[in-house]
Structure 1
């Protein structure tokens, strides 16, 4: 069943209602991310509705229709079709690249505006005119992590594991490409699945190669277990990764082993480094009594970007809104949302995190 939030009161029924669909994993191992995305979006919608947004002289009230894609490509396509059938014209998500790629076709055929954080480069190479990536791509994230590994951590030998998802494979491939350019030795390349929980066999092979670090292309649900099993096998290597492992969930699933061991990279500014970021984090904590995870601020920004484009175009027509997004620029919490002709961000800030006290701690931005 969908979650429909932000419904208008009877007094507001004469106003134009604009639905924003959400496609994210609200169940399963990645549900913490999906809930984080949803709550960032809801925070923005509450603020927009409190402001009384006007588009072309008409009052607009926003609703959120949140759908669970469970990080599953097939379910994500079904969600896309459901939103299309219900005439939802604007969508935030999908969160996962493996969902965004097949679902993107459905959204494109329905003429919907889609703002995704899916990072696989293929997403924007599909050429969908109303799809925009509001986070970094794997080329940026994987490459930046390789640079940090070589230049700052001064590693020499790295093993690589990916979870065979579009996200994990893409991230690992970009890490490997840049790592080789930086002179790092890739001593082993292995793969698992995003459902696996026993990594003993591949870790035993990796242990023999004696790496300084293991780069994992995947998410915390497996990354935390991987780290714990590395320790049980006596592998002292650091664990590197992208935004998928950059959260407290990884520390919990590793039984508290992340401190000093894990380095991860997120395609965003450090929230605490700017007043806008600190203000967003404070609002999020006040609303939900927890810290934002990886992409809450991007989903917040996504709703604000849509509203800004509607106001600039004077229309809620998805074609006109997409054109305004493509040609315009919007300064959000996370980034300056200005897009290339392929609808990637022109500039995507990067931040490296380590762990201290089980919490991700910002180390550097570039």
Structure 2
């Protein structure tokens, strides 16, 4: 049989395929690039991956729903950048996303990277929707392109300080922070609230976000007879502090801010975890209408439980998508006005923004470890 005769059936088959699905069949799709930036390597990589999975889940659902923006079906794609929790690399990641013409950025995780990166997005006119960074500076600079779907430290740590004085009745309060924009920022807000409510700060100690030994700080604090210690930093260091407190025979109440209430803290702290408290952003997911469904979908898709901020990443992504739907455009300058007025029920609660881009009606919840499990104690609106 000749080669020409052998190829004829193939040519006929190809012609049939092309006649059913011509190359122009995707011409009516609207490609929409959604940028994402967070630490995907290093000590904070767990948080970054958790956030990225939340964003990806929203994108996959939107694509499955064949959402229309104007008269075209949107084809959403995710462009992720690893900012390594480093401000310098965070700015580079932001510029890379801008250069790739993303329509929106969901990110970053650390306040220290979010603050400088947001300046890049502001100059480029691309909305950044922050799902995790909480320093009040983020939305206090009057940027038109900065939005938050999470409480600020002024709200969360402010609640922590007020509660420590008014409800816990702590008389001698000590503070440790990790000197990052996040840790120092929430410690500042906590101290401010304690003093506003007539509380007494006996000492304030410092570390850095790479430290593993807190003997020096805790020995100083023990000498002050503090009855409550607030830590501004993340879960792994909070766990190390809890363990060292137990070794030193300290009975002061350990209180964390955001980024502490998660299974990793309990795992790392072991039996020293019991009794620890932490204020976390938002209401308990299990108490929200869509919380259980989201948790189940997340576990089924990724094979792991939510670490902390995936629901906020999910809501941030949907905020952008819904604004694009309303504006019938994925062009930042066109849909930004719709984003400023968007209002919908997210997984984490009602999502809408005030005139600074901060989340309206933000709430935070106090949790305590009981029997190796974080248990919600009380939920408060922003102080």
Smaller-chain TM-score bracket = over 0.9
Taking the aligned partners of 1:300 and 1:127, their CA distance within structure 2 comes to 25
Does 2:136 align with 1:153?
A: no
Does 2:255 align with 1:240?
A: yes
RMSD, aligned α-carbons: 1.7
Taking the aligned partners of 1:50 and 1:178, their CA distance within structure 2 comes to 46
- 2:5 counterpart residue number: none
3-state SS of the aligned residue for 1:27?
A: coil
Question: Which of 201, 204, 208 is 1:189 aligned to?
Answer: 204
The TM-score, its normalising length taken from structure 2, stands at 0.89
Q: Contact between 1:30 and 1:221, CA under 8 Å: does it hold in 2? A: no
Give 1:253 shift: 2.2
Q: Contact between 1:93 and 1:115, CA under 8 Å: does it hold in 2? A: yes
106-115 vs 286-295, which moves further? 286-295
Give 1:131 shift: 1.0
93-102 vs 246-255, which moves further? 246-255
Q: Contact between 2:155 and 2:363, CA under 8 Å: does it hold in 1? A: no
Superposition pairs for residues 224-263 of structure 1, below 5 Å? 224-260=239-275, 262-263=276-277
Q: Deviations over 1:52-96 (max 9, x none)?
A: 100111100111112111111111111101111111221101111
Give 1:275 shift: 2.4
186-195 vs 13-22, which moves further? 13-22
Give 1:11 shift: 6.2
3-state SS of the aligned residue for 2:305?
A: coil
Does 2:351 align with 1:331?
A: no
- 1:101 counterpart residue number: 115
**Unmatched 5+ stretches in structure 2:** 1-22
Taking the aligned partners of 1:61 and 1:259, their CA distance within structure 2 comes to 47
Question: Which of 143, 150, 175 is 1:135 aligned to?
Answer: 150
Give 1:14 shift: 4.9
**Unmatched 5+ stretches in structure 1:** 1-8
The TM-score, its normalising length taken from structure 1, stands at 0.93
Taking the aligned partners of 1:277 and 1:151, their CA distance within structure 2 comes to 31
Give 1:106 shift: 1.1
Does 2:46 align with 1:25?
A: no
167-176 vs 182-191, which moves further? 182-191
Taking the aligned partners of 2:27 and 2:257, their CA distance within structure 1 comes to 44
122-131 vs 55-64, which moves further? 122-131
- 1:6 counterpart residue number: none
Does 2:327 align with 1:313?
A: yes
- 1:64 counterpart residue number: 78
- 2:126 counterpart residue number: 112
Question: Which of 51, 54, 58 is 1:37 aligned to?
Answer: 51
3-state SS of the aligned residue for 2:159?
A: helix
Superposition pairs for residues 204-283 of structure 1, below 5 Å? 204-260=219-275, 262-283=276-297
- 1:122 counterpart residue number: 137
Give 1:184 shift: 2.2
Q: Contact between 2:129 and 2:146, CA under 8 Å: does it hold in 1? A: yes
Give 1:10 shift: 9.9
3-state SS of the aligned residue for 1:244?
A: coil
- 2:3 counterpart residue number: none
- 2:188 counterpart residue number: 173
Taking the aligned partners of 1:14 and 1:67, their CA distance within structure 2 comes to 29
Q: Contact between 2:351 and 2:359, CA under 8 Å: does it hold in 1? A: yes
42-51 vs 11-20, which moves further? 11-20
Taking the aligned partners of 1:11 and 1:287, their CA distance within structure 2 comes to 30
Give 1:303 shift: 1.1
